[in-house]
Amino acid sequence: MDITIYYTMWDGKNGSHKLLTTAAGQWLSSCGRSVPEEFQIIAKGPYVKPYIGNIRELEFSISHSGTLWMCAFAQKAVGLDVQKTQNCRKDRVSGRFFHPKEDAWLAAKDYEPFFQVWAAKESYLKYTGAGLTQGMDSFSVISEEGLSESTKEVQQRHFLLDGETLLSGQKLLCGPLAVCITAEEIGEVNWVLLTETE
C-alpha cells in the first residue's frame, strides 16, 4: 500500500483542520477522485480514531512537532508521528514510560535514538487508534537488531531527517526530525510539500 505524506510549516495554534482538508483534497485529486465540497471529521469507534465521514475509504494520521505539520494518507489504516529532537531528560522519560527492552537499548546507546523510539511508539498507537490509553510500556519497537521494521505484526518505516531541506529541497528550518509510519503494509512513501489552494 502506497502512502502519501503532506507536510508544511505551521504556527502550532490555528488551521490544522484547514490544512487537513487542503491535503485531503489534493490527495483525492491526485488519485483522480472527486473532492467533496464539505469534509466532516468524525471520531467514532472503539478508540475514537477520527475519519472523514463522507470519504470513509480515506484513512489519515496527523502529526506535528515544533513548526512542522504532517499528514499521512492511505486507503487503509495508517499511523504517523513526527518528533523534533530537543533537549529533555531522555533517561527519565524512557525509564518511566518505555518498555524495559527499549530502555535498556537506549541506555546502551546513550539515549541518542530516543526520538526515533518515541516516534515509532506514537505512530503505532495512532495506527491502532488506541492512543496513550494502551500505555507506551505495553509493547516494544525494538528487535535484536535495533529499531524494528514491524510492531505487533504491522510494518513500520523509520526516517531521520535533517529538517533543513526536508525531502523536496524546501528550506523549513525545523531542526532534526524523527518520523515513523505504521501500516499493515507499506509500499512507496510519497512526500509532498502542501501548497495552498484557492
| Nearest Cα residue to 70 out of 168, 151, 187 | 168
Residue range 48-107, pLDDT digits in tens:
666 676 676 788 999 998 888 999 999 999 999 999 888 899 999 999 999 999 999 999
Specify the range with the lowest mean pLDDT, choosing from 14-28, 65-79, 116-130, 142-156: 14-28
Q: How confident is the model at residue 198 (pLDDT cuts 50, 70, 90)?
A: very low
Q: Where are the domains of the chain?
A: 3-193
pLDDT band at 31 (very low <50, low <70, confident <90, very high): confident
pTM: 0.88
Place of cell 514491524: 150
Handedness of CA 106, 107, 113, 115 (dihedral sign): positive
